[in-house]
Structure 1
Amino acid sequence: MRSNFKTKNLRQFCASAAIMALAISATTAKAQDQQSAEATQETEESDDLIVVTGSRIASPTVESAAPLQILDDAAIDESGVTNVQELLLENPAFGTPALSRTNSAFLTSGTGVASIDLRDLGSNRTLVLANGRRVVAGIPGTSIVDLNVIPTQFLERVDILTGGASSLYGSDAVAGVVNFVYKKDFEGIEANGQIGLTEQGDDLRYQANLTYGTNVADGRGNVMVHFGYSNENGLLSRERSNTQVDAISDIFFGGDVNAERDGPFFSSFPPQGRFDVAGTPNVGDDFTFDPDGNLQPCFTTNGTTCPGGVGPNGFNRQAFRTLAVPVERYLFATAGSYEISDYVNLFFEGTYSRTESSRIIEPFALESGGGTGIYPGTGRMPIENEVNGTVLVNPLVPAEIVAAAQDTDGDGLRDIGFQRRLTEFGPRSGDTTRDFYRFVVGFDGAIFDDKFNWDVSYNFGQTSENQTSSGQVNIQSFQQALAAQADIDDIDGDGDVTEAICINADARASGCVPVNIFGEGNISQDAIAYIDAQATFQTKITQQVIQGNIYGSLFELPAGPLGIAAGVEYRREESEEDNDALTNAGLNGGNKLGDSFGEFDVLEGYLEVKVPILADTPGFQLLEAGGAVRVADYSTVGTVVSYNGTLTWQPIDDIRLRGTYSRAVRAPNIDELFAGAGQTFPSGLQDPCANDGSGPNGGVTATETSALATACRAFAGVNENIAANGGEFQLVQADIQGISGFNLSNPDLEEEKADSWTVGVVINPRSIDALRNLTITVDYYNIDVSNVIAAPGRAFTLDQCYNNADAQSCSFVTRRANQTSTNSAGSIEFIDAQQLNGASLKTEGIDVTASYNTSLEALGLDGRLSARVAYTHLIKNDFKQRVDLDADPSAGEIGTSQDRFTANLGYSDGPFRIGFTGTYISSAVTDDQFCVDCGDAVDAEFYLDTQLNYKVTEEFEFYLGVDNLLDNDAPLIPTSAPFNVTGSDTAADVYDIFGRRYYTGVRMRF
């Protein structure tokens, strides 16, 4: 199967490449003169005023007081990426993405989304702009933009501004801004086609793009359109030898996280079922089926093989999991302008994107108990049912189980517990379609003899998502199908007295068919049809922005013009999420999820000034100060203020010193304020009242005087429990499994506040001819976010309530006031987690960039050489669940390595160009909250990519590339270990999981 799959894809690769090349070669259009690629690359200042990200004031250079990195269209082309996210993640300023193809297969929302995260401060704290204006989010209730909607080949450049920028751009710019700048005033045709494949013959990727631009009305206007299509086929865990089976590390048994596999470690939900007959599973009273279909006792606790060869007793989930979700993308973008008069222009932008993604994961794991089990109350399946005073035994239950079963819940009827993988339903699958619309229309122009420029615009964006999922079950229907009796009296009137029928008459009328869970393959298609529950999820996000800006020179100072910019902006956002009715009620084998709707609006105004203090003076080629302030009035949090200050000192032409301070804000998003409650059943929690060690069994006693015991006995039901258990608080298994809780929004949240500092130097030794094209920047950054919006962890809530007498934490814990049929009095029923403003974030580090390009004539060689390096050293990345507690440091952990760099080296000679890109990630450790003194969990990684280009004519270019040229394997980070992405046996959002891969393509320019 493996070799056949590879051969098929290789044939498809070759055929598609040939067809694509022929199709594009046939394109004809009027040729447009192109500037030679070998033209000088020396930096020259222009008299034209331009606006760069980080300031609203136009200036004749791209120099920025804040750290600003720019990726131009050449860098995008030479990367060979399908989605611009792939290129940005090579930059060390970006952290681990919240969402990507390789970490979203198991999400209920967000499959296939591509996001970015500056400084590892969270994607909600990175503001994404297109042409300096906001872009509607791709995830409901958030500000996270899906980069699938960005037309990669329509980009002129990408500006990456790090550090707080809320005073210029508003909320969310805490970590910085990423501004995607589209092509402008383009004439002619650009077309490209590309196809790629991994060395293993999988994850076929191909794309085709066409951009057309023309001047109209004798040059008074320009219109551009762009069409793009891309398809990434995806990758399954079973298609790679290192992820074909579940893996787990020795760390769960006292060893090291980077130990060799103790595997396979299969799931304890086998497809033939495991059946507990006495209410104490895994201690000698389980049954399962052996490979010959015989029912045998099973005593295993590790989910692999029962003693004596009975088994296997587990299930290999990896055989059904998705490593990288397939994503198909359609894009249309347009932009244009028209000169109405000498002082007024009309401009517009429009973008439409449709993204389709899908995923599969392992078949549903069903159990009798637990929060999402068939019997969440008792946790037990009755195998006897009383009908009209007669006790009837379910005829589908094997005799051995019937004989061994006991009445464990005290209702006088025998019952069992079970765990079973529903392989008859097939894998769980999900299909997601997202439609993105965005248009901008506005006017701009100049006034006061061109001293000031102005613009006004209206920006509308909408993202809608439709998702369907299969492989879940209707809990109520499953209960009815498990309550079966022998139809010896032909109750259903079909003439068959040998069959089993559902006991409930209403259920039978609705199509109920008894379900046989005993043995693999025994669930009939009719039973599946009755039990199956398809889940649906629809969302819609709408953003509207009206803004006006004016910028220019107020008057001349001795050192130059006093720059000023001002503007107002009104923004309205709405978001809604609609789940199906079964999901709302928690009756489809998953947690209960509420629907969500929320909206807010905000009116903002800003003012920015740039003051040249000294210029062309010994020791002060330039001394310039700047500042900005923004006031915003939110319908949710009221009035907030952000501001910044900048200082630039250029003592000589070759050296420029710069520094910034900013106060940035992030207003709470719609989900944090208004999301519907979502239920969860957390695992691994320990009730402090049952584990303080004072009683014979570890529970709190009636006479203990500790603060913890006092706190426990203050809850209703705890004293009743102690009295019922001989003076000690005790729990049963149902109590431990029955802990639930809701994730809650909070309409009373306040805004986050961030203080951001940067201090740096820019060195460009233009006075030395050999080094005039060398630029080096070194910047120190420090970002401190307070009032952080976060939901405390449930273990943290228990600790703070019982060990630190924190009243707020205790308010989120609910204990049962009385004994129930299945749960003990005083046991924990709910531990809720609500969004609060109590946490803090702090990151600190150093960025270094260097770029150089030169002709090789001095060495007697033809051609040019170019090089660029971007390096980040992370000093600190700390999170505090509460400001008065110790920090949880993540600098140096997997995903936040302390040292990262990307380096580019290129050589060009006439029509030939070759480039290399190296990306380095330093060694990293696992989470210190999980494993203390574990040592290095993974070694350092260095990835090398290359691309070769050959320009056949001025209009036609051919290229081919290899990513991960060294064929690095992703480090082993086993299942359930911190940073593991389910199904990948590694941190798939950090490390390359594809291995060496090849691509080729052509570009046409007319």
Structure 2
Amino acid sequence: MSKELLNLRRAALLGSAATLLASSFTGVAVAQDQSGDDEFVIEEVIVTGSLIRNPNLVRSAPVAVVSTDEMTFQQTNVAEEILREIPGMVPSIGSNVNNGNGGFSYVNLRGIGSNRNIVLIDGQRLSPSELNGRFDLNNVPLALVERVDVLTGGASTTYGADALGGVVNFVTKRDFNGVEMNAAYGVTEEGDGDTKRFEVTMGTDLGDGKGNAVVSIGYQDSKPVYQGDRAYSECSLGSGNGLCGGSGLGPFNTRFGNVNPTGTDGGNLALGGVQDDRTFGAAFTPFNFNPFNVYQTPFERYNIYAAANYEIAEGVEVYTRGIFSRNVVETIIAPSGAFGDSVTVSLSHPYLSDAQRNAFCAFDTQAGAGYTPLFTQAECDAAATATSQSDPNYREVDTQLRRRNVEGGPRISEYSADYFDYQLGFRGDITESISWDVFGSYGESRQSQLQQGYWLKSRFRQGLLAGPDGCFDASNGCVPVDFFGPTGSINEEMTAFLQGGESTVVTKFDMAQVKGVVSGETGWTLPWASEAVNFAVGGEYRKYTGAQKSDLLSKGGDLGGAGGAAPDISGGYSVYEGVAEFVVPVVSDASWAKSLNFEAGIRYSDYSIDADTNPSFSTTTWKLGTSWTPVDDLTFRATFARAVRAPNIAELFAPVTTNLTNLGDDPCASVDDNGQVVNSGPTGVVRDVCIAQGAPAGAIGAIPFPAAGQANYTGGGNIDLTPEKSDSWTLGAIIQPAAVPGLTVTIDYYNIKVKEAIAQPTPNDALDACFDNPSTSNPACLAIVRSPIDGSLSGDEAVVKGLPLTYSNSGNLATDGIDVTVSYGHTFGAVDWNSTFAGNWTNSSTFEAVTGVSGQRECVGLYSANCASIQPKFSWNWRNTFSVDKFDVSVMWRHIDGNAYEFEGDLFEGELPNNLGYANFNKIGSYDYFDLSVRYNVLENVSITGTVSNLFDKEPPIVGNDTGSTSYNSGNTYPSTYDALGRRYGISAKVTF
């Protein structure tokens, strides 16, 4: 049997070859025998999904596998890119979106949430990177990764809480000897988005083969790709009208009160900055924020990985592993400003023209059309001369301010993240068939966010309270700010006062754990089996601690356009656990069963929360599985697992604050973000409800939709949360027909349900809870708090609390589907052909935020603010690799099925501006991408690989900029799902000696 076929056969026997994404896969670590023949010796086994390490036992859980070759052909720069390509995986927040991305990259298995899976290295849990308990994939040492195993479904019995969606296990190279150097460079066809990666790995045996030590050092740098540098994203397209527009908060339209730019009618005072005479009511010009955003976030990383093991006594080994990385990410978004914040305008302000002052005096925010002026003309004229707030002639107006800080430049956040995780353990043999393993580890993540370019709310409020002699309070260097003139009227001195320096938020998370396992054979064999019953029993202790510390500017919510306050958070919890697993070979070599195995496991966990009330809870998880091989060519497998996820530190301890969420519609609103009146406004009981929520009666018919598709919401942690529960099961088969040597086919059905899910209602859920049954006595209606000035759900978070979106155990999640893989290899003369196909069909993926109230929302094949990341019905990868002598030529075909807008028909369809052609924002057709890779083995120890990604330069689908969540819908498309960079070229070299 060839080496390749032997490896494939062993992979299938281990039950870990559910997805073979490369031409070769090793299910266990292997080495060539010293005699030089083709026999392989098993050195060490890392089995994903079980504490039992016996490689001879067929497992029941399907595991998707990505090999080193696949990573080489992909020209992968970060681990998140590897996982994103696996069919059935749903993109999480990564490097392709900068608004809302703090520099971290996560994995979202099956679309049930990036916080519902665990990332492992060599089967061991690592410390999370942030307060939501997620591990940052940027910390994975790619140079040492041998393969990536992805186990879908509940794995809490083996690995503890959080593994509802499954686990991702990065298996590193074992017993590394020599030196390996890797260098890679990539660039788009447009000449931007340069990426560079360098790695050096060194390893050697210790003490005449008693141990081994390895260290890997790496550096990576990625340059930005701006949306303004692509024709399809240089202009923000309105999803409802297809027009080149953007935010209603721009440089040419300072606004006070409502956003209806028609002068004072309807309760609005809009200042057109292009007017030299400084009168209200100039034409509306939207602000195009796209050129400030990026499709590739600038990123720099340094990382070190070191590991060693040594036999300190006969049958006793000490081992250690350390990871350190430093990531620096710079995110850039459009300029900040005043986004409907409450302000008081002095009518003696030195930059206020007579016409503008008269408009303010004639303005009544509570009346709208048919208003009664605030002040008489005589009072208004006298107010212009007031030099202080104690002057009898002094008058002021309470209103809202909308003005973007174009003069001050974009908002810039620099995230610096330091991560380390250190492990020390001992393992050895109790008998020839039973071993023990005890280790402890401590990991810590520290991220510092430095924010620049933000206006301070306290200062633009202070800059509006001024008279002819300057600010009424000039103790901090206040200068009157000209919010009433054209772009450029806010000069450098005003900008320096408004921005007031930098702000810092520091987040720290650490985890300490101790774990011990005894495993091996019991020595007891069933009469019909040839293998003994295998077991593993163990105990664990983990302690989690997290904190967020903000300076006064961030903590107090003083940064204009920051989305709300960043309050201090502090908390932690600990857990004691006991676990047992068994694999029972039932039958071997019978006429009806070449093998029949049964496996089971159980874990008990006891949690203690660090809180004043000291709440605690316990959970029990368990799993059952079976594999049956009736004939050599066919294996059936099935699993059932109960898993849990404990609430994380952010969900438990985050204070209740008001922030921003995505929302494009509002039953009370009439004026869109471009200033156009699109309906006459609510009537009857709906009108009464809008007023009961705080909207002025005079604003009805002129209430704006959420600014830039974002509305205020109020929510936070809940110390009374309890663990959510999951039931998952799989049923599948492995087919390896002897009649077709080299062919392996797997098919697996999966079904995952999460009950009592920790969830926040979606924005539409909060609105539906009210407006599906509108009443001024409906608590769901009264819980919504609107602006008292213009009735919108946007504005000053101290006043406009918006939608109530609080955490509770009220949610339900469910998904099911089928994975299919086909792997085949054949030799045609001098050409070796290896073909691997991995496909996924997702039948359903539903989310219910509030059981029995919000309803099951289906998100497969749909996109919207409710269905954040795209999850297609069908997706597949098909790689074909042809090898001739020193050359490998590999082609990857990636397919993404078509998708549709959740509320199909509501979005734009027609000809787009700027020669972008025809588009239908309500639908995205199926997409096919092709990647070409060529590898040349220059010498036995030198290889060069070149890759062209998106070979045919296929542009992404255009759906507008406010179709969905800003974490995924950016630059008029979904850049984490579809390629927004265009054709890219990559070259890498590997040298070993």
TM-score bucket (shorter structure): 0.7 to 0.9
CA separation of 1:835/1:697 partners in 2, compared to 1, >3 Å: closer, same or farther? closer
Distance 1:1005 1:806 in 2: 73
Question: Against the structure 1 CA distance between its residues 929 and 443, is the aligned structure 2 distance closer, same or farther, given a 3 Å change threshold?
Answer: farther
The residue that corresponds to 2:590 in the other structure is: 617
2:3 counterpart residue number: none
1:964 match: 950
Return the letter of the residue paired with 2:438: V
Matched, 1:246 2:236: yes
Match of 1:486 in 2: 468
**Corresponding residue for 1:282?**
262
The within-5 A match list for 1:467-486 is 467-486=449-468
Counterpart in 1 of 2:481? 515
- Partners of 2:490 and 2:102 in 1: CA distance: 30
1:904 aligns with 2:879: yes
Question: For the residues of structure 2 that align with 1:809 and 1:744, how far apart are their CA atoms?
Answer: 23
Secondary structure of 2:72's counterpart equals: helix
Q: Residues 298, 798 of structure 1: CA spacing in aligned structure 2 closer, same or farther, 3 A cutoff?
A: closer
- Matched-pair contact (CA < 8 Å) for 1:51–1:57: no
State the 1:484 CA deviation.
2.4
1:112 Cα deviation after fit? 2.4
After TM superposition, give the deviation of residue 686 of structure 1 in Å.
5.3
Q: In the alignment, is the contact (CA less than 8 A) between 1:65 and 1:658 conserved in 2?
A: yes
Measured against aligned partners, the alpha-carbon deviations of 1:738-766 in whole angstroms (never above 9, x if no partner) come to 9965212111111111111100010112x
Q: Cα RMSD over matched residues?
A: 3.6
- Structure 1, residues 95-137: CA drift from partner, whole Å, max 9, x if none? 121x10012x112xx4221111111111111111111111122
Q: What is the TM-score normalised by the length of structure 1?
A: 0.82
1:404 paired to 2:359: yes
Q: What's the CA shift string for 1:703-760, capped at 9, x where partnerless?
A: xxxxx99xx99x9x969x99x98xx998996999999652121111111111111000
Measure how far apart 1:83 and its partner are. Answer: 0.8
**Is the Cα contact below 8 Å between 2:210 and 2:310 reproduced in 1?**
yes
Partner residue of 1:670? 649
2:756 to 787, 790, 814: 787
Cα deviation code 1:503-548 (max 9, x no counterpart): x2xx323211121121111212222222214221100010111000
Give the AA of the match of 1:476: S
Task: Write the distance in 1 (CA, Å) between the matches of 2:625 and 2:763.
Answer: 42
Would you say the 8 A contact 2:261–2:281 is kept in 1? Answer: no
- Find the aligned partners of 1:995 and 1:618 in 2 and give their Cα distance: 57
Q: Deviations over 1:52-72 (max 9, x none)?
A: 101211223484311112222
Match among 36, 45, 52 for residue 47 of structure 2: 52
- Are residue 101 (structure 1) and residue 101 (structure 2) matched? no
Q: Secondary structure at the match of 2:533?
A: strand
Alignment partner of 1:586: what SS?
A: coil
Contact 1:657 1:761 in 2 (8 A): yes
- Is 1:549 paired with 2:511? no
Structure 1 spans left out of the alignment, 5+ residues:
1-32, 254-261, 304-312, 376-380, 385-392, 488-500, 691-695, 702-707
Residues 248-397 of structure 1: matches in 2 within 5 Å?
248-249=238-239, 252=240, 262-275=242-255, 281-282=261-262, 288-289=271-272, 293=276, 295=278, 298=281, 300=283, 303=284, 313-367=285-339, 370=340, 373-375=341-343, 381-384=344-347, 393-397=348-352
Deviation at 1:796, TM superposition (A): 2.8
1:743 to 691, 696, 715: 715
Contact 1:117–1:126 under 8 Å retained in 2: yes
The separation in 2 between residues aligned to 1:930 and 1:528, in whole angstroms, is: 44
2:914 match: none
Is contact 1:927-1:978 (8 Å) kept? no
- 1:835-884 deviation digits (Å, cap 9, x = unpaired): 1111111101000011112222xxxx203111111100011111112332
1:653-690 superposed Cα distances (whole Å, 9 cap, x missing partner): 11000000111111111111111222136666758999
CA distance in 1, matches of 2:143, 2:822: 26
Gap runs ≥5 in structure 2: 1-29, 365-373, 380-394, 610-615, 671-679, 793-798, 864-869, 910-919
Q: Could you tell me how far apart the structure 2 residues matched to 1:808 and 1:754 are?
A: 37
Q: Tell whether the 8 Å contact from 1:49 to 1:59 is kept in structure 2 after alignment.
A: no
Instruction: Say how many residue pairs are matched.
Output: 882
Provide the C-alpha distance between the structure 1 equivalents of 2:162 and 2:89, rounded to a whole number of angstroms. 16
Instruction: Give 2:327's aligned amino acid.
Output: T
Alignment of 1:167-182 (within 5 A): 167-182=157-172
Q: Deviations over 1:911-944 (max 9, x none)?
A: 1111111111011111248959999611111111
What's the counterpart of residue 118 of structure 1?
109
In the TM superposition, what whole-angstrom CA distance separates every residue of 1:760-805 from its partner, at most 9, and x where no partner exists? Answer: 010112x33xx22211000011111111110123553454367569
Correspondence for 1:994? 981
Distance 1:730 1:459, change over 3 A: same
Moved more, 69-78 or 177-186: 69-78
Report what 1:568 is aligned to. 539
Please tell me whether residue 443 in structure 1 is matched to residue 426 in structure 2. yes
Q: Is the 8 A contact 2:258 2:703 kept in 1?
A: no
Alignment partners' CA distance in 2, 1:40 and 1:175:
42
* Change in CA separation of 1:681 and 1:203 when aligned onto 2, cut-off 3 Å: closer
Looking at structure 1, the residues matched to 788 and 879 of structure 2 have their Cα atoms a distance apart, in angstroms, of 67
Per mean C-alpha deviation after superposition, the further-off stretch among 262-271 and 874-883 is 262-271
1:689-708 correspondence runs (5 A) = none
Give secondary structure in 2 for the equivalent of 1:913. strand
Distance in 1 (CA, whole Å) between partners of 2:784 and 2:961 is 33
Residues 175 and 931 (structure 1 numbering): CA distance in 2 closer, same or farther, change over 3 Å?
Answer: farther
Residues 1:236 and 2:226 are matched in the alignment: yes
Code of the aligned partner of 2:186: G
Q: For residue 419 of structure 1, what is the aligned residue in structure 2?
A: 402
User: Which residue number in structure 1 is paired with residue 444 of structure 2?
Assistant: 462
What is the alpha-carbon distance in structure 2 between the residues aligned to residue 267 and residue 850 of structure 1?
A: 48
Amino acid at match of 2:197: Q
Q: TM-score, normalised by structure 2?
A: 0.83
Distance 1:883 1:395, change over 3 A: closer
The answer to which of 86-95 and 613-622 deviates more is 86-95
Question: Which fold has the larger relative contact order, with Cα–Cα distance below 8 Å and residues 6 or more apart in sequence?
Answer: 2
Aligned pair in 2 of structure 1 residues 993, 243: CA closer, same or farther (>3 Å)?
same
Give 1:987's aligned amino acid. Answer: Y
Per-residue CA deviation, residues 267-315 of structure 1 (Å, 9 max, x unaligned), is: 3233244345999753666554575845465465xx4xxxxxxxxx232
SS in 1 for 2:86: coil
3-state DSSP class of the match of 2:532? strand
Provide the C-alpha distance between the structure 2 equivalents of 1:374 and 1:677, rounded to a whole number of angstroms: 21
Whole-angstrom CA distance in 2 between matches of 1:530 and 1:292: 25
CA contact (8 A) 2:510 2:544 kept: yes
Contact 1:798 1:809 in 2 (8 A): no
SS, match of residue 459 in structure 2: helix
